[in-house]
Amino acid sequence: AQRVTQPEKLLSVFKGAPVELKCNYSYSGSPELFWYVQYSRQRLQLLLRHISRESIKGFTADLNKGETSFHLKKPFAQEEDSAMYYCAPQRTGANSKLTFGKGITLSVRP
């Protein structure tokens, strides 16, 4: 069965510090890779998608096929980055069951 692991539940950093939110997945191949974010009292929304290779709000995510990881990074955290972040690698093919990690809460202190 495919698995998605976000090993940490909470990451607390000071403003301006670097951030790395980890995501590992268990299946091989070339999945579509997403990070979703949920700000306080808001709906989940797409933060970034690997295939677009964009940097959104200063965040980037690099695919490491050897380690099957898709960690989310930002060099200088801002207070407005405080939110819940979900990793969602989706295997290509006929499987239609979306899989999300358990999420990590990022808290950026002033």
Looking at beta carbons only, is 66 or 98 nearer to another protein?
98
Site residues for another protein, 40-69, by CB under 8 A, read 42-46, 49
For residue 85, the number of C-alpha atoms closer than 13 Å in the C-beta half-sphere is 30
Count residues binding another protein (CB under 8 A). Answer: 24
AA letter at 96 = S
- Measured from the Cβ of residue 6, the count of other Cβ atoms closer than 10 Å reads 19
Contact residue for another protein among 36, 72, 106, 108 (CB under 8 A): 36
- Rounded to whole angstroms, how far apart are CA atoms 65 and 25? 10
Q: Which residue ranges make up the site for another protein (CB under 8 A)?
A: 6, 9, 32, 34, 36, 42-46, 49, 86, 88, 90, 92, 95-103
